[in-house]
Amino acid sequence: MAKKILRLLSNDSVRGGEARSLDVVHPPDDDLLDAYSRAVINAAEKVSPSVVNLDVRTNSRGKQGTRYRLPEELRGTGSGFIFTPDGFILTNSHVVHHADKIAVTLPDGRRFEGDLVGEDPDTDLAVVRINGSNFLATTLGDSEKIRVGQLVIAIGNPYGFQCTVTSGVVSALGRSLRSISGRLIDNIIQTDAALNPGNSGGPLVTSHGDVVGVNTAMILAAQGICFAIGINTAKFVAGRLIKEGKIRRSYIGLGGQNVPLLRRVVRFYRLPVESGILVVSIEENSPAQRAGLSEGDIIVGFDNQPVTGIDDLHRMLTEERVGVKTTLTVLRHTEKLSLSIVPEESKPREDE
């Protein structure tokens, strides 16, 4: 267009020393929308009707207080999105944790009372259900297929502003984020699509409107560093929560800390690791106590697999390990021992 105007100027507009005015035809606004704008608009129009606002109320009576009196009712807000036509909603665990009442508001103004189906603090995911049918549900995508640099759109209710849309790109893949329970959440998506308090639990979607993540956190001191849980993780967790109301994991009942190993010890025992878990405490009547584990032992292996730290052990303590006899490799003083241990199903902590 610019070259065409220049040609008109050079050939037609100046003749005989006189300048001629040009009649520039302005295209309609729709033609000015670039591909980026159209992608964001189409994704927002497709997904926004399924994004809900969660108003959470928690009774503070009976909870541990401070010298200042707590209000009788604590309130919080967050986001979520309907992923089945019969009213199942995905959100973050920290949004609905300890909730006594959940009010769900749809973009069209309809309000429902939400029932907490189940939550998993270890992945910061929860499922809420509202009674009804024929709800407009989102399309769940595949978080394994997204690429760094890909356009993504975040939709939520920051500070109560319903269906706020922000956009950005996938900044990185395969990040790890520590949950409130202390476990690492793997395969986290990093994005620069702006998130604010209240966005938690909302969807992160592609330009086609497919949900690829559940928005969960941002770094307040930074700009443009936000995180979402991959939708593949969310689909697995949601399925288990709907079926059983919880996620089963195993535990062995110890407290520990990561420590480096002496190089001469690594060489002497030909260990495949250079660090391990120093056992600092053991729970009463736990699998660790029954296995003969002692404070001061250093765990370097579990089920004949190397263990470099607590996060490695957490990843191995899955549902499949519950009730299964397993070998625990430990260093005790100058000895290398193999102890038989039978992990049990983990129980929620009282502070959770």
67: left (phi over 0), alpha (psi -120 to 50) or beta: alpha
Cβ(203)–Cβ(47) below 8 Å: yes
48 tagged catalytic: no
CB atoms closer than 10 angstroms to residue 175 = 16
- Clarify whether 200 is annotated catalytic: yes
Catalytic residue among 124, 192, 210, 297: 124
Does 26 participate in catalysis according to the annotation?
A: no
Tell me the β-bridge partners of 215: 228
Q: Using alpha carbons only, how large is the chain's radius of gyration in Å?
A: 27
- Among the listed residues 171, 200, 250, 346, the single catalytic one is 200
Which three-class secondary structure state does DSSP give residue 221?
coil
The distance of Cα 185 from the centroid of its chain, to the nearest Å, equals 7
User: Of 94, 179, 250, 312, which residue is the catalytic one?
Assistant: 94
φ/ψ of residue 253, rounded to 5: 85, 55
Residue length of the chain:
352
User: Measuring CA to CA, how many Å separate 351 from each of 50, 112, 348?
Assistant: 33, 29, 8
Residues designated as active site: 94, 124, 200
